[in-house]
């Protein structure tokens, strides 16, 4: 194999291993703009979340306001009903964001999505919000998941 063919094969393999960003719906980001949503590991969509595992949620967004704080609020939407979902760190300033949040800056919010063993096997939509000082959404995203055994 010559060098050129080797590079082509290498780039093809990199393309196969690179995860695509998760498809999401913006559900009302008021004071920010979502750029990219990644859930790791998530090989297919909707993301299959295995019971007993933790997943990382990474949201890249920009802010149009200044805010001293940020707080995450997460719900599972089941048959149209929002069910509160507990995460261990709801303080966005402890989840990859350096506070205070500044206008026109990009931020990488990173948090864990734990899937407990006792959760039922079900398809649902996750609604993840990050709120500013005034309880307005820096971002609000919704994405489908399937909890599997």
Tens digits of per-residue pLDDT, 4-30? Answer: 333 333 333 333 334 578 899 999 999
Domain 20-148 has CATH 3.90.230.10: no
| Adjacent-strand bridge partners of 63 | 32
**What is the reported pLDDT for 43?**
87
No. of H helices and E strands in the chain? 1, 9
Domain ranges of the chain: 20-148
106 is written with which tokens? 């990009």
d(CA 21, CA 15): 13
Q: Are 137 and 30 in contact (CB under 8 A)?
A: yes
pTM for the model stands at 0.84
Residue identified by tokens 């993301």 is 47
Question: Has residue 87 got a pLDDT over 70?
Answer: yes
Grouping H, G, I as helix, E, B as strand and the rest as coil, residue 149 is coil
> Per-residue pLDDT tens for 90-134?
999 999 999 999 999 999 999 999 999 999 999 999 999 999 999
Continuous segment of H or E residues that includes residue 33: strand 32-40
């Amino acid at each position: 194999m010559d060098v050129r063919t080797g590079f082509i094969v290498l780039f093809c393999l990199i393309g196969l291993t690179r995860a695509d960003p998760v498809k999401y719906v913006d559900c009302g980001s008021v004071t920010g703009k979502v750029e990219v949503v990644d859930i790791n590991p998530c090989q297919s969509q909707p993301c299959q979340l295995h019971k007993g595992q933790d997943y990382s949620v990474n949201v890249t967004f920009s802010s149009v306001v200044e805010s001293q704080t940020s707080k995450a609020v997460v719900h599972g939407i089941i048959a149209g009903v929002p069910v509160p979902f507990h995460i261990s760190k709801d303080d966005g300033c402890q989840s990859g964001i350096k506070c205070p949040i500044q206008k026109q800056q990009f931020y990488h919010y990173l948090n864990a999505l734990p899937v407990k063993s006792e959760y039922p096997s079900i398809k649902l939509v996750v609604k993840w919000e990050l709120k500013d000082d005034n309880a307005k959404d820096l971002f609000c995203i919704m994405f489908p998941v399937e909890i599997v055994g």
